[in-house]
Amino acid sequence: MIYPILFRGGMFGDLLIGMLDQRSLISKTYWEKEYGHSRSSDMYIKYTRTYHKKFFQYTDKQKNRYYELFKKIRNPVYFLTHDTDFSIKYYKEETIQIVCSDIKLFNYFAERFNLLHKKHVIDETKKIIKNANNFVEDYEKSLISWQENFIFPKQFDIKNIMNKSLFLKDLQKFFLIDDENLKWAEHIYTKHFQKKNVT
C-alpha cells in the first residue's frame, strides 16, 4: 500500500516521514551530496522517498512508473511529494495531505521554509507564488491559499506540531501506529527538536 505525503515546504513533511517509517531513513550515506538536502531529525531520508519533491523535472509517465514501483512492495510505503496537480489527477484517494487548522502557525512555516532553503530554491519558489516585496509574507499567503483551494479526502492536521504529547497522540490516532512504532516516532521527534537552532 502506498501513502504519498503531499505537503508544502516548511510544513514538516521530512520530519513526518521519519517518524512514520524507519525504513525511509539511513544514518550514514556515501552519497551525502544527494541526500544532504533531505533529512529527518539527525538522519538522511533515502533519495527514493524524496524523488517527487522535484516533481517538475519529470513527466507524468515517469511519475506513474515511480508510484507503480512502490505498489509492488507488500509493506506500507510512505514517500514525499510536492506535486499537487499530479496527486489530484492520479492518486487523490491514496494521498495524505499535510494541513494545519491553526492559521497562526503559517507564518512560522513560511519563516522555516525561508531559513532552511538555499537561495536558488527561494528564487524557484518566487516564480510560482504571487511575490510582492516580502517573501515570507507572500509564502505564508500561498500556504493558506493552497490549503483552502486543494482539499484531499485524507488530511493530517499538524496544529499540535509544537506540543510533543499532543502531536504524538494525533499521529497515533490518524496513522494507527502501534506502541513500538510510536516509541520510534517519539525518538525522531525528540531528536529533531533537541537540535541547536532548530526549526
The answer to whether residues 80 and 21 touch, using CB atoms and an 8 Å cutoff, is no
Of the candidates 64, 24, 21, 67, the residue with the CA atom closest to the CA atom of residue 47: 24
pLDDT tens digits, residue range 54-80? 666 778 898 888 788 878 888 888 888
C-alpha cell at 129: 507564488
What are the b/e assignments for 171-185, b being 16+ CB within 10 Å?
Answer: bbeebebeeebbebb
pLDDT of residue 64: 81
- Rounded to the nearest 5°, which phi and psi values hold at 15? -65, -45
Task: Write down the pTM of the prediction.
Answer: 0.83
Confidence band of 198 (pLDDT split at 50, 70, 90): very low
How far apart, in whole angstroms, are the C-alpha atoms of residue 9 and residue 7? 7
* Segment among 48-57, 154-163, 172-181 with least mean pLDDT: 48-57
The CA distance from 187 to 22, in Å, is 11
- The C-alpha atoms of residue 35 and residue 181 are separated, in whole angstroms, by 24
20 contacts 79 by C-beta, under 8 angstroms? no
What is the DSSP annotation of 138-181?
A: HHHHHHHHHHHH---SEEEE-TTTT-HHHHHHHHHHHHT--HHH
Q: Are 192 and 15 in contact (CB under 8 A)?
A: yes
Determine contact, residues 3/76, Cβ cutoff 8 Å: yes
| Mean pLDDT, the chain, integer | 82
The pLDDT tens digits for 121-168 are 666 666 677 766 788 888 899 899 999 999 999 999 999 999 999 999
CA distances from 19 to 13, 76, 91, 107, 147 (A): 10, 14, 23, 24, 23
